[in-house]
Structure 1
Amino acid sequence: MSHLSITLTTQPPADFYAPNSVLSVENHQAKIHLTDPENELAVIQKAGRQLDGLGIMQIQLIGDWQIEQQWALAQSFTTTQKQLHIQWCDDQNKTELINRYECMLFTRNLINATPEDLSPEVLANSCANWLQSLTDHSISYSFCTGEELKKQGWMGIYHVGRGSTRPPVLLELDFNPTNNPNAHVSACLVGKGITFDSGGYSMKSSEGMLSMKCDMGGAATVTGGLGLAILRGLNKRVKLFLCCAENLVSGHAYKLGDVITYKNGTTVEIVNTDAEGRLVLADGLMAASETGAELIIDAATLTGAAQVALGSEYNAFFALDKNLEQRALKYANSEQEPAWALPLEKWHRNKCPSAFADTANSRPQKGGGGGGASNAAGFLSRFVNEDGAGWLHIDLAAAYNPSNTPCLPAGATAQGFRTIAKTLLEENNN
C-alpha cells in the first residue's frame, strides 16, 4: 500500500488497536485519532511518523482540516527521501500551504546537503538563485569572496574561512520591490553560513562533527524566511547578508591566540576556534547596520548552550530591545514555532574578557562556560547600535535532529523560517 487518504476523527480507535494508538488504517484510508485535545498537533505529527514507518509514499488529506493540522502532518511525514507527496485539502489555505511547503523544502534540503556539495560559494549562489526564482520584483546581489574580504575589512569571515581551499563569501542580496535605488532599507537579515565546522584547531570530536553540515542552518533559515515573506506579499525593501565559510584546519587556518581587528575597531582574541559563528556574524551585523535598517534579525546554529537550556524543540531569542523580543515571541507562537527568550543585557558583552584585546571570542572553558549562549549574544551586541534597538538574535537550537524523533524525521527541521517571515511582515506594517 503506497497511497492513503487521511481523515481526522475525535473518536478513539477500535479496541483491537494498541492502547494510546493515534492511527488506524483500513484498505486505502487512514484515520488520525485526535483523542488528546491539549496536544492535537503533536498527535498529528506522531501519526505522520507512523505513516512514514508504514512505507506510505503518497497521502491525500480529505475532510475538514485546519491549516495548522495540515502543516503538522506535512512536517512529520516529509523526509529527506520523500517530498512533494501530499495532496492538500482543496480549500482557502491551499496556496499558503503550497508556498510554505516550498520554503520549508528549500530550507531543509539546503541544510541536509553534504558539505562536499555545499561550498560557501555554492551556498551563496543557491540562496540568491532561489530567491530570484520566486518573484518578478527586483532582486540584485553581490559577492565579496576570498582575499577581497580582507581588502574590504570583513575580517571575521576572512579569518574563519581562510583555512579552506574553498574561499569564504559574504553575500549581500537586495530585495527592492520599488526598483528605486534610493528606497529605504526597512529590514536586514543576517545568517551564519558555516558549510562545515570541524572546530578548527579547537577540533570537535568525531561524534560532534558528524552533524556539522547543519552549521549553515542560519543562512538557510533566514533565506527561507525571506522567501516566504516575499510569497506572502512583502512590499518593503529588505537586504540579506549571508556569512559563508568552511571552518577547517590547514597551514593557513586561524589559530588560538590570534587577534582579529574588526571594521568598527573592535579587537577580538581567539581563545576557541570552534566559537567561529559569532566571528562571521559580526561582519554581517556591521554590514546590516550600515544600511540604517530599523530591524535586523540574525539567525545561527550558534551555541550548544542554547540547546542544553531549551532542548531541541525551542529556538532561543535574545534581544536588548525587550519590546521587539516580546513581539517576536508572539509572532513565533502564532506561527506554531516554539521559541523562548534567554537573558541578554549590555553587561553580557564583557563576559569574555581578554588581556590582549577588547574581548575574547569565548571563555577558555568547555562550551564557553556558564551562560555561554547569552555571552555569545553579548559578543554580537558589540556589532549593532549601542542599545541594540531593532535587533533580534535567534540561536537555532531546534534546527536539526541527528535522528528521528517521535514527531519529526531525522535532519533539518526548518523551524524558524515562518517566524522570520511573520516578523518581517508585521514589523514593516507598524
Structure 2
Amino acid sequence: MTTTTAINLTFSPVSESWQANNLVQVVNDQIYVFIKPDSLHPLRDIQKAGRKIDGMGVKQVTFVGENWGSNRQWALALGFTSVGKLTNVEFVGERKEELTKKLAVYAWSRDLTNQTPAQLFPASLAEQTIDYLSSLSPEHVTTTVINGEALAEQGWMGTYNVGKGSTNPPCLLEVDYNPTGDADAAISACLVGKGITFDSGGYSMKSSVGMFDMKCDMGGAAVVAGALALAIESGLTKRVKLFLCCAENMVSSFAYKLGDVITYKNGVTMEVANTDAEGRIVLADGLLAAGETGAPLIIDAATLTGAAVGATGGDYTALFALDQDVADIAIKTAKQVNEPIWQLPLETWHQSKCPSSFADTANSRPIPGGGPGGASNAAGFLSRFVPNEGKGWLHFDIAAAYNGKANELWAAGATGLSIDTIAQLILAE
C-alpha cells in the first residue's frame, strides 16, 4: 500500500531554524513548502518545490491547509510527478475531480512520449491513441488509418516518403470526435500532430548524442491527442478532427534521399534538402487533410526545430501564426492556464526562405540547422499547406515538450506542456 504524504503550504517560516532560501523543509515530521510573499513567480517556485519533494523519495502526495488553490496544487503536481508515478497526486477542494482527470490525461500523453522506439512505432502510436480516445467517449469517436502503400495511392506523399525506409510502415490517423449526433455537422476545429516515433535523421544522420532522445519526436502527436482527450473530459460538445502523421525516419535502401522531389496533393513540389527536417514534410499532409474539412481553426503541434529550443531555452512553446487575432487568443489562453508560450516571427515571405532550383520549395537549407531563422522558415514552409492564407491557423513548435535530464522544474521525460492551452482553444471555438 502506498503511503500518501501531506504537504503544507506556508508564506511565512514555521520555525526559527528555517533557512530563507529553502523552498521545502521538514518540521516535526511534516513537509512544508515555503513561498516568499514577494515571490515574482510563486507557481514556478511551487513547481520547483515539487521537484525537491520528489527527490526526497516521497511516493504520493496530497495537500493540507487553506492555502492550496487549484493552480498551486497543479503546479506542485507538475514538479512532483515523474516516470513511474505520473498520477501519484491526490487533489483536494472543489476542483478535485477536474484536476484528477486533467492529471490522468497529462500522464497518458507523457507516458506515450516516454515509451521506447521498440514499444512505440507508427502503427502502435495510432492504435494507442485510438484506444485511449475511444475509451473516453466510445459512442462519439470514429477512426480511419491509412497505412503504408495506401498513403502513396491516396496522395499523402510526405508521410509516405519519410516513413517508407522503415520496416514499420508509416500511417496517417484520422480521429473524428462528433458528439452532435449529426453526421453532417460542421467541424469546429482540427488538430494535427507530428508523430515521428523515432528520428535517426535519415541520410542527414544525427550524431549519437543528437539521436539519443529521438523517441520524443512524436511529442506533437501526444500533445494534440492529449488536448482532444482533455477537451472531451471537460465536456466538449463540438465536432473536432485529429490527424496524426506517423512515421519512423530511418536509413535503408528504400529510404527517401537528398535531392528527391515530392509532390503534394495541393500541387506544391518540394525538394529534399535535409532528410532530418522531416517533421514539416509529414505535417504538410496533416494540414492539407485538415484544410479539406473546412474547419475555421487548425492547430498543429510538433517537436519541429532545434532553432525554437535555442530561441526559447526550452522553457516555452514557440507559437507561429499568420492570423494575429487568433495568435492573440492563444497567448491569452496560455497565460490563463499558466503554460509558457512565446510568439516568434512569421510572415508570408518566410515561404521563400528555403529556395530550390528544381521545385517550388526545399524543405530546408543545406546548411547546419537550416540557417538563421530556422524555426520561422519551417513555419513558413508549413504555411504553404494551410487554407485561407493562414486565417485560423496556429503552429505550436513545442520546444518545452521533453527533457532528456531532470531539471529544477521537471523530471526527465515528457512534460505535456501546451495540452491545456490547445484544449481550451478548441473548447472555446
Taking structure 2 as the reference length, the TM-score comes to: 0.97
Q: Which of 53, 78, 81 is the equivalent residue of 1:78?
A: 81
Q: How does 1:184-223 map to 2 (within 5 A)?
A: 184-223=186-225
Partner of 2:379, secondary structure, is: helix
Query: Which of 266, 286, 289 is the aligned partner of 2:268?
Result: 266
Aligned to 1:25: 26
SS at match of 1:37: coil
Q: Which runs of 5+ in 2 are unaligned?
A: none
Aligned to 1:343: 345
Q: Secondary structure at the match of 1:373?
A: helix
Question: Counterparts of 2:139 and 2:40 in 1: how far apart (Å)?
Answer: 42
Q: Do structure 1's residue 45 and structure 2's residue 47 form an aligned pair?
A: yes
* Equivalence for 1:256: 258
Written as runs of structure 1 = structure 2, the 5 A alignment for 1:137-286 is 137-286=139-288
Answer with 215-224 or 57-66: which moved more: 57-66
Query: Is 1:67 the equivalent of 2:58?
Result: no
Q: Which range is displaced more, 212-221 or 77-86?
A: 77-86
Q: Which amino acid aligns with 1:201?
A: Y
Secondary structure of residue in 2 paired with 1:38 = coil
Deviation at 1:16, TM superposition (A): 3.2
Equivalent position of 1:16 in the other structure: 17
1:307 to 2:309 alignment: yes
Counterparts in 2 of 1:93 and 1:379: CA distance versus 1, 3 Å: same
The equivalent residue for 1:364 is 366
Query: Which aligned runs of 4 or more in structure 1 are off by greater than 6 angstroms?
Result: none
1:43 Cα deviation from its structure 2 partner:
1.5
Corresponding residue of 1:88: 91
Structure 1 unpaired stretches of 5+? none
Per the alignment, residue 109 of structure 2 pairs with 107
In structure 1, what residue type is equivalent to 2:377? N
* Corresponding position: 1:34 with 2:35: yes
Amino acid at match of 2:90: Q
How far 1:27 moved relative to its partner?
4.7
Give the C-alpha shift of residue 62 in structure 1: 1.1
1:243 counterpart letter in structure 2: C
In structure 1, distance between residues paired with 2:87 and 2:300 = 29
Q: Does structure 1 retain, via aligned residues, the 8 Å contact 2:272–2:363?
A: yes
State the Cα distance separating 1:422 from its structure 2 match: 0.7
Q: Distance in 1 between matches of 2:235 and 2:43?
A: 27
Partners of 2:86 and 2:360 lie apart in 1 by: 49
**Other-structure match for 2:410:** 408
More off after superposition, 235-244 vs 76-85: 76-85
Q: CA-to-partner distance for each residue in 1:379-403, whole Å, 9 max, x for gaps?
A: 0000012410110000000000111
Amino acid at match of 2:98: E
Q: Is the 8 A contact 2:87 2:104 kept in 1?
A: no
Q: Report the alpha carbon displacement of residue 370 of structure 1 after superposing the two structures with TM.
A: 0.3
Shift of 1:238: 0.3
Query: Displacement, 1:425?
Result: 1.1
Q: Residue deviations 1:321-361, cap 9 Å, x none?
A: 11000110000110110001101000000100000000000
Per-residue CA deviations over 1:227-281 (Å, capped at 9, x if unaligned) read 1111111101000000000000001000000000111110000010000000000
> Comparing 18-27 with 186-195, which one deviates more in the overlay?
18-27
Cα deviation digits, residues 153-183 of structure 1 (max 9, x gap): 0000000000100000100110000121111
Question: What letter matches 2:60 in structure 1?
Answer: Q
- Equivalent position amino acid for 2:366 in 1: P
Residues 286-341 of structure 1, C-alpha deviations (whole Å, 9 max, x = no match):
00000000000000000000010011110011010110001100001101100011
The alignment partner of 2:224 has SS state of helix
- Is the counterpart of residue 6 in structure 1 residue 1 in structure 2? no
CA–CA distance in 2 between the matches of 1:112 and 1:83? 11
- What amino acid sits opposite 1:411 in the alignment? G
> How high is the sequence identity, in percent, across the aligned residues?
56
Q: How much has 1:135 moved relative to structure 2?
A: 2.0
Alpha-carbon distance in 2 for matches of 1:193, 1:316: 18
- Number of paired residues? 426
TM-score calculated relative to the size of structure 1: 0.97
Residue aligned with 1:173, SS: strand
Does structure 2 retain, via aligned residues, the 8 Å contact 1:301–1:395? yes
CA RMSD of aligned residues (A): 1.2
- Change in 2 beyond 3 A, CA 1:17/1:380: same
Q: Distance in 2 between matches of 1:348 and 1:23?
A: 47
**1:26 Cα deviation (Å)?**
3.1
CA distance in 1, matches of 2:204, 2:20: 49
Aligned mate of 1:116, from 105, 113, 118: 118
